Structure formats: C-alpha cells, structure tokens
Amino acid sequence: MTLVGRSAEVRRIGDLIGAARSGRGGALMLRGEAGIGKSTLLDQARHVASGCRLVEAAGSEFETDLPFAALHQLCRPLISHLDAVPGPQRRALEVAFGLASGAPDPFLAGAATLTLLGAAARERPVVCLVDDAHWLDAATTRALAFVGRRLGDDPVALVVAARASELAGHLDDLPVVPVGGLTEDESRMLLATPGSVVLDAQVRDHIVAEARGNPLALRELPRAGGFGPPDTGPVPSRVERGYRQRLTGLSEDAVMLLTVASADPTGDPALLWPAARRLGLDVPAAAAAATATGLVDFATRVRFGHPLARSAVYRAADPDRRRSAHAALAAVLDPATDRDRRAWHRAQASAGPDDEVAAELAVSAATARSRGGVHAAAAFLERSAALTSDPGVRRERVLDAAGTALDAGRADAAAELLATLGTAVLSAEQHARADLLLGRIEFLRHGGRAGTAHMLRAAFRLFAVDPGQGRERLLDVVELSIATGRLGGVLTAIFDRLPATGPGPGGPDVLDALLTLNHAGNRAAVPVIRRVVTRADRPALAIMLAGELWDPETQGAIAASALTAGRESGEPVLLRLGLAQTASHAVLTGDLAVAITAIAEEEAVAEATGGPSVVYPRVHLAAMRGRPDDAGGLLDAPGQMAANPHWMTALLNNGRADYPAALRSARRATAHDDLFLSGIVLPELVEAAVRCGETKEAAAALDALTEHTAGSATPTGLGICASARGLVTGREDDYRESVTLLDKSPMVPYRARAHLLYGEWLRRAGRRRDARRELRIAHTLLAERGIEAFARRAAGELAATGENPVRRTDRPHDRLTARELFIARQVAGGATSPEVATQLFLSPRTVDAHLRNIYRKLGVSSRRQLRGLPGIDPRAT
C-alpha cells in the first residue's frame, strides 16, 4: 500500500511488526483527530502483517459499559490456546468472557491476555490491531495497557488507534505516534489521485486550505459542492452530526447564509456577500449569528472551523435551501470569466429540466475534457443529460455521458446512465453506440472474449448505418483486442467482412492500412502505413503498424508522442500505454535503463488506479536481458497478444543457444497473425531453424521476412533480413551487408547480433583473427547494454578463438530496484522529491527514503553526485 504523506507513520508500524517477526514485541498508539487517517494506517498494518497471526478489535460507542467486550473480541480467535494459560489467569479470562461464573479480576485478565498472546505467538508472530480505542470499555482499556507495557519478550505487536481529544488515560502510556495533517503539497497529491473529483485550481486551493491536511475532509469536501455531484446522502460521521446540532435555534437568515457559504467551494467573500444580499438576507445579523456557532470564519476567505463542518452544513440543508443557495451564487458569477462554475451552480439550482442550463453544461464538459479533466467532464455531462427535456437530445447526451464516464474508468456509472434509456426508441446509430458502450463496460468489468465480441458485433451494425463512425468503432475494438490478447481473431473477423476498399474523403486511415496489409501484402501497404502512422489518434495501433515498416525512429517518435499525450491529458490508460510503448521501444533499441524506469512508472500508475500492470514490456525486458527467472509467470499472463510470449521465448532461447526450444516457440508465434509480431519473430525462426537443421523451414521463413522488409527498405529491416539470409545461404557477403546496414540502425541488440552471427561464421570458417574482431564488437555492445544471454554467447565464441573476453564492468543501475532506478534517474535529471512522488503516487518522504537506499547502494551521498553518473543520469553516456 502507498499512503500520501504517511511515510514516518508507516515506517513506525513496519518497524514494530518487523521487530515482532524477529522476536521482539512492542506497542504503539496512533493518535489523531477524526478523519485524519488512523484507520487507513491500520489497513497498512494489516498489509505489513502478512504471514503473521492477525487479531483485531474495535471500540463501540454502544458497548462502552460492557466490561471486557472488546477484549473478548480481540482474544476470541485465540481461545484454542487457552489451555496454555496458567490456572488462575485462565479462570480470570473465562470469567471475563462469560465462560465461567464469578467476579472478573482486571489485573489477572490483563496478565492472562499477555500469556495467551505469547502462547499463540509460539506458532507465528501475532499482530493485534485495535481501532476506535476511545470507545473501549474501561476493563479492556486497562487490560490492553497492561499488555502493551509488557510485550518486550514475546513476538507480539499491538497497534491501537484513538482520537486525541477522547483518549482514555490508561492507554496514554503507550508509545504515541501522532497522526497529523498532511502538508499542502501532500494534500494536493491526494486530491490529484485517480478516482478523485477533478477540481479547478481555485476550488482545489481553497479545499486544501480549508481541510488543514485532514484526508477525510479532502475526500469529502469536493463532494459537498465542487465540480462533482454533491453527495447529499448520510455520512456515518458523528463529527458531522455534532456540527449539525449547532444549527439548532439559528435564524433562517443565518442558516441560509451558512448554506450559501457551504455551497461555494472557493470561499470567496466577493461571491458570498452579493449572493446573500440577492437572497434578501439581513447580512450583518446573519453573519454574527453564524460566526457565533464556531462553524465558520468570515474573513479574507470564508473558512469553516473544522474540515467536516462545511459538508455537515451542506448536507443538513433541505433541497429547496440548497437550490436557492446555488441559484444565488450562479446569479452573481460572471458568465464570461466563470462560465463553468456558473453553469454548475445553475445546474444544482434546477429542480427539473432546463434546456438552457443543460446546453451550458455540455459546453463546459467539452472545455473540461480539453483540459484533461475527464472526471469533471463526466460530471457535467451526467447533469446535462438529467436536465434535458427533449427526448432525442437527452438520449444523445446520455450516450455522451456514458462514454465519458467510461473514459474516466467509471463502468458502473456508465451502466447506470445507459439503464436510464430504458425502452426509449433508439435510432440504429444510437442502438449501435449503446451496444458499443455496453461492450466496453463488459470489457472493463470482466475483460476477455465477451467484451470484444459484443463490441465487434455492434461496430459492424454501426458500419452498415454510418461507415465513418463504424470504421472508428471497429478500430476501438482492435485496440481493445490488443489488451486482451485476441487481436488475431478480431482482425480475421474484420478482414472476412470488409474488402480492401479505397480511402474515404479524408484520405486513408488505420483501417485502410490494416485492410491493405491483409489483402495486398506488406509491399502494397507500406505507402498507406507511412501516411497514417504519424497521426496521434490511434497511438497503440500506429506504433504496431510502424513495426511493419521496420522503422525504429518512427516507432520511437510515436511512443514519445503517446507518452506526452498521456501526461498532458492525465488519463491513466493513455499514460500507461505511452509508458508501456516507451519501455518496449527501449528494449528493442537496447536502452534497458529507460525500459526499466518506464516499467516502474507504469506499475506505479497501475497500482494507484487499481489495475494490473501491463505485461508485455516486462516480458520483452526479461527476454532481451536473457533472464528466464524474471519472465517467470509473465509469459502466461493475460493482457498481451497471443504471439507475444512465444516470440519473446524464442528470443530468450536463441540468446541461450537452446535452439530446439527457440524453434518450438517461434513456430507457435508465427501461428498467430498479430501485427508487428508476425514479422519480428521471423529472424528468430530463421536462426533456430538453421541451427536445428530445418533448412526448408528456414528458407520459407526467410522468404516471408524478405517480403516483410523489402517494401519499406529501411536499413534496419534490410540489415536484419541480410543477417538471416547469411544464416540460410552461408555467404559472407550477406553477413557483411548485414553489419554494414545495421551500423546505421538504433536497434543495438540486432546490430550486435549481426556481428555475433558473422563472427560465429568466421570462426567456423577457420578465420579466427577476423572472427575475434566481429565477436569483440558483439560482446562489447551486448555486455554494455546488459543483454546478458547473447553477451555470454559472444563471450563463449571469443573464448573458442583463444581470446579471453574482457569482463564487463558492473553497471550502477544493476544494484538498484526498478523503482529506485526510476527515482535515481529522475533526481539525476533535476527532478525534486515532490515531482518524483507525483509520478509514482508516493509521498515525498517515501521518495527521500528511497534516495537514502540509492545513495548507500551507489556509494554516493548527495543528489549532486548522481548527476553525470553513467547508467543513472539520462544525459550521461
């Protein structure tokens, strides 16, 4: 788990549980106000306690008068160890838990609890977690205080959480970890986490100031009237109920003033006072009464006295009062400078359909989307659809809102929106769009064949009505099929249904390129592919089509463009795509440090957004490095094209000179007609087939590779093809041509392999001196880049010529984990800890902790020493 701004607290919990694992017991108290994150830290403790015996209890407001109620809850899972407790102590527990009659002895009960925990810990360490300790019954409090002070000799960890102002004195003797508010930077990080309501800068800054670092407030306040649907339902917060009670007895004007203040997330007095006057309130008297409650402070900013006070006031207002407040605020906002906020307030003020407001919201949604605020856009569109009176327009807006909700990762919200269409009469186009959205929902919820098949049927239905839209939706399905590993089947279905027709009025698109590639072959498709791959609207397909050009420069440019678009849009899916493509391209060009760091960042984004990491770049990296253990279960993991694991296994085994295994994998890979992979696997097939004596199969694979590379005629493609041709023909001219051509290619692993194959041929021809020259080049390139299996193969060949290969020097980044390498490279490039933390969804303190490990492993002591360090600083050679 990664918590914003809690590195010190997490470290204390980890140290405590780690000590218990080592046989040293201890206790600590997490103490802080309501909503500050104590329960979340207990969740972290559960995570850290993996493998330990976990027992838990929680205080209850309604059981504070029941002696030993919470202690019974804590110890009940350990009752089987009761026989290990000495007689008097055992009886004390039996009485306390109602298993025997008599008067309970709190002291003996505490001693018995300590003995019981120690007995259970002989099997494995025990971790005790107690939440809401301020509501523990007095007997349990005394027993736990006894236990907590005497845990040093047993492998038991006790973590107790309680509110600072309501803590029972007995537990105050435990070591205290104060849980305070987040810093402003950390608060902004929390507000920016995926899934949070998207806020404009002014609203965000006011919420940060108002929340005072309280995480629960940071989560709740945006829902109380920001650019997201205000949550008017009940919140299980006794703190909020206490604030609501302060409204009792206030004048109507004072309550209305507080409601207006709570409805404006900016806290701007220049809006509050004009809105109050517009409502006809007696502003001086209302402000005095409101201030007297302690709920709010009217100063240069309108600030509520406690993080949850504003949401409590907003939730306490009845719908009519809230609508009046929003209407007044909308009326005083400038439609030119605050159009979006004005539209939102007008929407909240509407009790029924309002087409003018609905239209304004639709415009605001487009503006929000253009700025990367997909969550805000979804909120605007949902409300716009709800306020639209015309059934036809409403259906269009519901479909738009559902699509935007899906883009924001809110599959359930999208499904609810589509359900509102009910039995409405949809046009053929709308029916197809709805089916496509349902397919996307199915894909997000369950993935696999069902979602893509549903979407494919819907896309063909739409194609018959509107070919332009149909083509776009077919490409949507193709992109999704890449993620599910079903690209070959989807492409086959499209190719069977659609002929290779000419381009539309707008010129050829990605679908034209795919159809031409299938129906006319690589040579005919190359001109079309060149025209479409530079477009930014289909980066996943574009980079795979670029692979058909054997043009690594273009592939790299597309990957960089996708990464830039992902960072600028803030859409996690696009960002992860850009990172994954960056990593894969870096593997192919031999820049493994870049690949490792891109994978680390993608994994961090995946973890933060609750999705699985993209598999294929990690498989590529493991195979190129020649590390089968790193590939492990990744080769069989879902979420990659069917040919991918077979291609990478063939590459891995060719590097290890296990040619029979490489041949089996290459054959499986070529059985799948996947974009790019169907071509890039052919060099592996040729090499493995030649080494296994399968000359006819090698020749057939060479013919296919020649067809793949001849159309684009790039140095990379022609060089790889010449190297394969040398294997088949045994002609030196082919090998010489390959190294000449690939010396111009950025695909360093393939350049090095061309020298390796030529050197192997020369050695077998008895030309040791010439062989050494080629093999030295190969070994140097491979070893410096960390392409270990092929480097070992080159070293073996060099040794066979009578030369001891120079052992490669240790690369600094080999000593670091993937995340540490990412942090080190970012810091070496000048990034600050908060900047790195934002990318990895960590706290700056956690980044600093990683930096200390990095310094230790690299033998440096400062950020400055990372700069210029080869393998660490991206600018160093």
Which pLDDT does position 126 carry in this prediction? Answer: 95
What domains lie within the chain, and their CATH numbers? Answer: 7-178 (3.40.50.300), 185-230+252-351 (no CATH), 565-800 (1.25.40.10), 813-866 (1.10.10.10)
DSSP three-state, residue 297: strand
Enumerate the H helices of 786-858 as residue ranges. 788-800, 818-828, 833-840, 844-858
Overall pTM surpassing 0.85 (yes/no)? no
Contact 647, 677 (CB under 8 A): yes
**Bridge-partner residues for 304, per DSSP?**
296
> Tokens standing for 367?
């503006």
Residues whose CB is less than 8 angstroms from the CB of residue 377 and which lie 6 or more positions away in sequence, other chains included: 365, 366, 368, 369, 404, 408
Residues whose CB is less than 8 angstroms from the CB of residue 597 and which lie 6 or more positions away in sequence, other chains included: 818, 821, 822, 825, 826
Taking residue 134's Cβ as centre, other Cβ atoms within 10 Å add up to 20
The span from the CA of 352 to the CA of 343, in Å, is 15
DSSP letters, 553-564, are HHHHHHHHHHHH
The pLDDT tens digits for 292-329 are 988 888 887 787 765 467 778 888 899 999 999 999 99
Which pLDDT does position 62 carry in this prediction? Answer: 47
Which pLDDT does position 409 carry in this prediction? Answer: 72
> Tokens standing for 684?
């592996």
Taking residue 11's Cβ as centre, other Cβ atoms within 10 Å add up to 15
**Bridge-partner residues for 177, per DSSP?**
30
DSSP three-state, residue 639: coil
The span from the CA of 710 to the CA of 89, in Å, is 86
Residues whose CB is less than 8 angstroms from the CB of residue 373 and which lie 6 or more positions away in sequence, other chains included: 198, 227, 570
Phi, psi dihedrals of residue 175, rounded to the nearest 5°: -55, 130
| Unique residue bearing structure tokens 């802080």 | 32
Phi, psi dihedrals of residue 103, rounded to the nearest 5°: -95, 125
pLDDT under 50 in the chain at which residues? 62, 224-236, 238, 307, 371-372, 843-844
Taking residue 852's Cβ as centre, other Cβ atoms within 10 Å add up to 10
Residues whose CB is less than 8 angstroms from the CB of residue 687 and which lie 6 or more positions away in sequence, other chains included: 654, 659, 662, 724, 727, 757
Which pLDDT does position 474 carry in this prediction? Answer: 85
